[in-house]
Amino acid sequence: PRCIWLSRHGESVYNVEKKIGGDSCLSERGFQYAKKLPELVKQSAGDADLTIWTSTLIRTQQTAQDLPYKQLQWKALDELDAGVCDGMTYEEIEEKYPGDFKARDENKYEYRYPGGESYRDVVIRLEPIIMELERQENILIVTHQAVLRCIYAYFMNVPQEESPWMSIPLHTLIKLEPKAYGTEVTKIKANI
């Protein structure tokens, strides 16, 4: 039976600086995760063949670079676009756009960054990805937290309005296994 694996990219330079968005490289810890990932996948998938899907951003590709499977990049897997707030810290956003900061907290699913996206927008652009996933065999998706929240909610049957608040930890490989009674989840945390 086929499975889907999910992973966030390893810690990025922007993660360390607490900035959102951008297209930064992995941090040193992030690269350690990239080095560990083949072993984690092997542990979870055995000799099964799989295909890796990444976003078009550097940090997901660096995370997948040591994985010995064929890889495909999807623009639809890029991180939620923070528009005018791209590259800022949450503190800077709160200072510069206090109204937006509050509005987002009050309705994180619907809130759209000026010039950017909402979670609802991401769910819509993920539709082709979800359709393709339903058709495919084993896929490992290496992408971003906001995107993974939406994909995870879809497979776990969680209402999408709740997805913006779910935590998808860094440096953890998530395995989703469809079963008759629902989706079974296994998480393997990298020891780094």
Q: Which residues are annotated as a binding site for substrate?
A: 8-15, 59
Compare residues 17 and 66 and give the one whose CB is closer to ligand G3H: 17
Q: Is 151 in the site for ligand G3H (CB under 6 A)?
A: no
Q: Is 89 in the site for ligand G3H (CB under 6 A)?
A: no
Compare residues 24 and 50 and give the one whose CB is closer to ligand G3H: 24
Q: Is 145 in the site for ligand G3H (CB under 6 A)?
A: yes
Q: Which of 17, 28, 39, 95 is catalytic?
A: 95
- Residue 9 a catalytic site member: yes
Helices 127-135, 145-156: crossing angle, 10 deg rounding? 50
Q: Is 144 in the site for ligand G3H (CB under 6 A)?
A: yes
Stretch that binds ligand G3H, among 23-31, 59-67, 128-136, 144-152 (CB under 6 A): 144-152
Is residue 101 within 8 Å of 94, Cβ to Cβ? yes
What strands, in cross-sheet order, belong to the sheet with 51-54? 70-73, 51-54, 139-143, 4-8, 172-179, 182-189
Binding residue for ligand G3H, selected from 9, 118, 139, 164, defined by CB under 6 A = 164
Query: Which positions touch ligand G3H (CB under 6 A)?
Result: 20, 80, 144-146, 164
